[in-house]
Structure 1
Amino acid sequence: MTTSSAGKVREWDDRRLQHDRTALVQAEMQRQHVGALVLSDGVLRRYVLNLDVPGAKLLVPVAGDPLVFVRPRDEGYVKAWHPQVRPPLGRIREDAPASTDAPGPAARGLVDCLAELGLKDEPVGIDTMAVPDLLDLVALGVRIVDAEQVIERAWTVKTADELAIYRRIARQYVTALSAFRDAARPGATEQDLAAVATVAWLQSGGEDIAQMNVCAGENMNPWRRWPTDHQLREGEFVGIDLHGRGPNGLRGDASTTFLVGDRPTGQQRDLHRRAYDYVQGVIPVLRAGRSIADAMASVPSVPAQFRAQLDNYNVAHGIGMGSSGYPHLDPRRAPIDDVLRPNQILAVECYLGEVGSPLAVKLEEQIIVCDGEPEVLGPIPVDDRLLT
Structure 2
Amino acid sequence: MELDWHSDAQAYRDGLLFDVNDIDSSIEMAVVRGYRLQRFRDEMARHDIAACVLFDPVNIRYASGARNMQIFNARNPARYLLVTQDHSAVILYEFTGCMHLADDLETVSEVRPAITASFVAAGDEIKRREMDWAAEIASTLTELVGKGATVGIERINAGAVQALSGYGFFLVDAQQPIERARAIKSREEIACVKASLHATEIAVARLRQCLRPGLSENALWSILHQAVIAQNGDYVETRLLSSGQRTNPWFQESGNRVIGKNELVALDTDVVGCYGYYADFSRTFHSGPDEPNADQRQLYAAAYEQIHHNMELLHHGLTFREYAQRAWQIPEKYFVNRYYLSAHGVGMTGEYPYLYHRADFLTAGYDGHMEAGMTLCVESYIGEVGGREGVKLEQQVLVTPSGPELLSNFPFEASLRP
TM norm. shorter chain > 0.5: yes
- Give 1:124 shift: 0.5
Equivalent position to 1:206, from 221, 225, 233: 233
Judge which range, 186-195 or 201-210, deviates more.
201-210
AA in 1 matched with 2:173: D
Give structure 1 regions of 4+ aligned residues with deviation exceeding 6 angstroms.
Answer: none
Q: State the Cα deviation string for residues 286-327 of structure 1 (Å, max 9, x = none).
A: 1111111111111122321111211x42100011223x2110
The 8 Å contact of residues 50 and 248 in structure 1, kept in 2 or not, is answered as no
Q: State the Cα deviation string for residues 233-255 of structure 1 (Å, max 9, x = none).
A: 22211111111111222222211
Q: Distance in 2 between matches of 1:224 and 1:283?
A: 23
Q: Distance in 2 between matches of 1:185 and 1:76?
A: 46
AA in 1 matched with 2:49: V
Structure 2 gaps of 5+ residues are 1-21, 70-77
Tell me: CA distance 1:226–1:10, structure 2 relative to 1, closer, same or farther (3 Å).
same
- Partner residue in 2 for 1:3: none
- Partner residue in 2 for 1:372: 402
Superposed counterparts of 1:189-338, under 5 Å: 189-223=216-250, 225-261=252-288, 262-310=290-338, 312-322=339-349, 324-331=350-357, 332-334=360-362, 335-338=365-368
- Give 1:48 shift: 0.7
Q: State the Cα deviation string for residues 314-362 of structure 1 (Å, max 9, x = none).
A: 100011223x211001222334221001111111110001101012110
- Give 1:85 shift: 1.3
Equivalent position to 1:105, from 132, 142, 160: 132
Pair 1:351-2:381 in alignment: yes
Q: State the Cα deviation string for residues 66-98 of structure 1 (Å, max 9, x = none).
A: 122335733334233245214336563754476
Pair 1:36-2:36 in alignment: no
Q: Provide the secondary structure at the position in 2 that maps to 1:60.
A: strand
Tell me: CA distance 1:233–1:71, structure 2 relative to 1, closer, same or farther (3 Å).
closer
Q: State the Cα deviation string for residues 50-77 of structure 1 (Å, max 9, x = none).
A: 1114633211111204122335733334
AA in 2 matched with 1:321: M
Tell me: CA distance 1:190–1:151, structure 2 relative to 1, closer, same or farther (3 Å).
same
The 8 Å contact of residues 234 and 260 in structure 1, kept in 2 or not, is answered as yes
Q: Distance in 2 between matches of 1:75 and 1:330?
A: 42
Tell me: CA distance 1:267–1:345, structure 2 relative to 1, closer, same or farther (3 Å).
same
- Identity in percent: 26
Q: Distance in 2 between matches of 1:353 and 1:238?
A: 13
Pair 1:60-2:83 in alignment: yes
Judge which range, 133-142 or 357-366, deviates more.
133-142
Q: Distance in 1 between matches of 2:114 and 2:330?
A: 55
The 8 Å contact of residues 50 and 145 in structure 2, kept in 1 or not, is answered as no
The 8 Å contact of residues 216 and 238 in structure 1, kept in 2 or not, is answered as yes
Superposed counterparts of 1:113-132, under 5 Å: 113-132=140-159
Q: Provide the secondary structure at the position in 2 that maps to 1:10.
A: coil
Q: Distance in 2 between matches of 1:228 and 1:266?
A: 27
The 8 Å contact of residues 203 and 228 in structure 2, kept in 1 or not, is answered as yes
| TM-score, reference length from structure 1 | 0.90
Q: Distance in 2 between matches of 1:90 and 1:302?
A: 50
Tell me: CA distance 1:165–1:93, structure 2 relative to 1, closer, same or farther (3 Å).
closer
Q: Distance in 1 between matches of 2:197 and 2:116?
A: 42
Q: State the Cα deviation string for residues 138-190 of structure 1 (Å, max 9, x = none).
A: 11111111112221111011122210011112212321222222222111111
Q: Distance in 1 between matches of 2:237 and 2:165?
A: 35
The 8 Å contact of residues 316 and 403 in structure 2, kept in 1 or not, is answered as no
Q: Provide the secondary structure at the position in 2 that maps to 1:34.
A: coil
Q: State the Cα deviation string for residues 5-26 of structure 1 (Å, max 9, x = none).
A: xx98624211111111111111
Tell me: CA distance 1:93–1:233, structure 2 relative to 1, closer, same or farther (3 Å).
closer
The 8 Å contact of residues 246 and 389 in structure 2, kept in 1 or not, is answered as no
| TM-score, reference length from structure 2 | 0.84
AA in 2 matched with 1:370: T
Q: Distance in 1 between matches of 2:310 and 2:116?
A: 50
Judge which range, 70-79 or 170-179, deviates more.
70-79
The 8 Å contact of residues 115 and 133 in structure 2, kept in 1 or not, is answered as yes
- Partner residue in 2 for 1:80: 104
Q: State the Cα deviation string for residues 190-210 of structure 1 (Å, max 9, x = none).
A: 112101222222334422222
User: What is the number of residues matched between the two proteins?
Assistant: 378
Q: Distance in 2 between matches of 1:195 and 1:96?
A: 41
Tell me: CA distance 1:314–1:58, structure 2 relative to 1, closer, same or farther (3 Å).
same
Q: Distance in 2 between matches of 1:204 and 1:90?
A: 34
Q: Provide the secondary structure at the position in 2 that maps to 1:317.
A: strand
Q: Distance in 2 between matches of 1:138 and 1:105?
A: 13
Q: Provide the secondary structure at the position in 2 that maps to 1:141.
A: coil
Tell me: CA distance 1:368–1:93, structure 2 relative to 1, closer, same or farther (3 Å).
closer
- Give 1:103 shift: 8.8
AA in 1 matched with 2:332: A
Judge which range, 361-370 or 109-118, deviates more.
109-118
